[in-house]
């Protein structure tokens, strides 16, 4: 049996979403291991993305729609802050806690997308049981999130990455909208490549003005090596997410699957004997709700 035959019953958006989850878990665990200063990690990670994407962009070409680049530049402004906060959060509270907080985002993004694409409302209301199931999942998610309020570890994580959580809500919607501005044949690699160059340029300007790190740290071999290593994985993580966006109507389903990286990290911690901190039953309740949305989508 070939690989194509194995995955053929699974929707392509789910295949790419699960691939993104595996790569995302790897990326976060690598960052946790390296403990590189957040600004340096964010910078060299995107340098790595640009390097990895260069030969692919040369093969596929770049999008020609100027709207694509205008929207991408605006999103890059969001990620230049979010990425630094994200890497800092992993250093502060660990990959496990961060990965269990972020699944809150797509549950909100799901409903916000209807404001951008109202035509989907009729599609979902045409199957009342599906709509009812989504409402139940949303209520359960709110219940699990409410039960995280007394968890000291989770509160610390929320304080550390609240901006990342907000960016994740907006970012998935923006990414889906950006992909609608160009064809998949050059949009995926062009997106990753151009966004990386934009973000690197912004960080270089910021570094020249603020100097957040000494030059020997920022441009030292440990920072470059760790950042480029994570960037290799990150480039294909983002590419997988973008490919998935091209095969789904509501973008919230994709981060829903990607954030199953928390489950992968959980079992990795178990294998290596590292304790999983936080109120796990509530955290994984949120992950289960996110996964339930995927099941409902498949049934619909």
CA distance 46 to 52: 10
CA distance 132 to 251: 20
* Chain CA centroid to CA 204, Å: 23
Residue-averaged pLDDT of the chain: 86
Gap between the terminal Cα atoms of the chain: 28
Q: Using N-to-C axis directions, what is the helix angle for 221-245 and 38-60, rounded to 10°?
A: 50
Residue-level pLDDT at 13? 87
Confirm if 238 and 19 have CB atoms less than 8 A apart: no
Confirm if 257 and 70 have CB atoms less than 8 A apart: no
CA distance 13 to 93: 31
Residue-level pLDDT at 9? 62
Residue-level pLDDT at 114? 85
Residue 80: strand, helix, or coil: helix
pLDDT at 28 over 60: yes
More confident of the two residues 103 and 230? 230
Nearby residues of 189 by Cβ (< 8 Å), 6 or more positions away: 53, 56, 57, 60, 239
Confidence class for position 49, pLDDT limits 50, 70, 90: very high
CA distance 34 to 142: 34
CA distance 212 to 204: 11
CA distance 121 to 216: 54
CA distance 99 to 49: 21
The closest of 175, 215, 207, 173 to 191, measured between CA atoms, is: 175
Confidence class for position 1, pLDDT limits 50, 70, 90: very low
More confident of the two residues 44 and 291? 44
pLDDT at 127 over 90: no
pLDDT tens-digit series, residues 191-203: 999 999 999 999 9
**pTM for this model (two decimals):** 0.85
Q: What integer is the mean pLDDT of 231-247?
A: 95
pLDDT tens-digit series, residues 67-125: 999 999 999 999 999 999 998 888 888 887 787 777 777 778 888 888 888 888 888 78
Q: What integer is the mean pLDDT of 174-185?
A: 92
Most distant CA atoms of the chain, gap in Å: 60
Burial of 104 (0-12, 13-18, 19+ CB in 10 A): buried
Residue-level pLDDT at 151? 66
Residue-level pLDDT at 3? 44
Residue-level pLDDT at 165? 85
């Amino acid at each position: 049996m070939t690989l194509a035959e194995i995955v053929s019953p699974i929707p392509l958006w789910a295949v790419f979403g699960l691939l993104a989850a595996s790569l995302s878990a790897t990326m976060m665990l690598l960052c946790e291991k390296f403990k590189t200063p957040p600004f340096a990690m964010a910078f060299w990670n995107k340098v790595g993305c640009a390097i990895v994407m260069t030969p692919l962009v040369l093969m596929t070409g770049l999008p020609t729609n100027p709207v694509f680049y205008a929207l991408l530049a605006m999103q890059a402004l969001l990620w230049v802050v979010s990425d630094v906060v994200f890497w800092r959060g992993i250093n502060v509270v660990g990959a496990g806690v961060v990965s269990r907080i972020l699944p809150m985002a797509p549950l909100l993004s799901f409903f916000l997308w209807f404001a951008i694409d109202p035509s989907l409302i009729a599609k979902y209301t045409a199957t009342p049981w599906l709509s009812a199931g989504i409402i139940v999942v949303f209520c359960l998610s709110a219940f699990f999130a409410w039960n995280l309020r007394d968890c000291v570890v989770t509160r610390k994580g929320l304080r550390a990455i609240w901006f990342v959580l907000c960016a994740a809500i907006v970012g998935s919607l923006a990414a889906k909208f950006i992909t609608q501005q160009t064809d998949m044949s050059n949009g995926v690699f062009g997106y990753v490549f151009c966004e990386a160059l934009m973000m690197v340029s912004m960080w270089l300007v910021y570094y020249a003005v603020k100097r957040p790190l000494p030059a020997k740290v920022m441009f030292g071999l440990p920072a470059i090596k760790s950042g480029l290593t994570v960037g290799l994985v990150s480039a294909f993580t983002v590419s997988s997410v973008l490919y998935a966006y091209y095969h789904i109507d509501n973008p919230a389903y994709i981060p829903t699957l990607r954030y199953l990286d928390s489950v992968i990290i959980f079992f990795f911690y178990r294998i290596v004997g590292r304790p999983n901190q936080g109120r796990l039953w509530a955290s994984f309740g949120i992950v289960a709700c996110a996964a339930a949305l995927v099941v409902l989508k498949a049934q619909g």
